[in-house]
Amino acid sequence: MDADRSLDCTGLVCPLPVLRARKVLSGMAPGQVLAVSATDPAAPRDFDAFCAAAGHTLLDREERDGVFGFRIRRGG
């Protein structure tokens, strides 16, 4: 995943992955991309809702061996 920053949230449960992503994104410029990895089964739903509410774009997500990967473009 190509990204400007990355965040490892494996082992964390809701709401920590979204809270940590929100903190990192707040320090990024609009248009930059954050890659997040998480193992919480609720993460796909949580990141969908977070991006929609915060004005960010969820570029893609994947799941491999129980680890979810997300690429989020910071909104402006």
Residue 76 lies in a domain: no
The number of domains in the chain is 1
Tell me the mean pLDDT in the region 53-73. 98
Q: Is the pLDDT of residue 1 over 70?
A: no
Q: Is the pLDDT of residue 4 over 80?
A: yes
* Placement of tokens 């979204």 in the chain: 18
> Quick check: helix, strand or coil at residue 57?
strand
pLDDT of residue 55: 98
Residue 9 lies in a domain: no
CB 56 within 8 A of CB 24: no
Name the pLDDT band for 36 (thresholds 50, 70, 90). very high
Tell me the mean pLDDT in the region 61-70. 97
Q: Which domain holds residue 57?
A: 15-31+41-70
Name the pLDDT band for 39 (thresholds 50, 70, 90). very high
Verify whether residue 51 is a known catalytic residue. no
Which residue among 14, 28, 58, 67 is the active-site one? 14
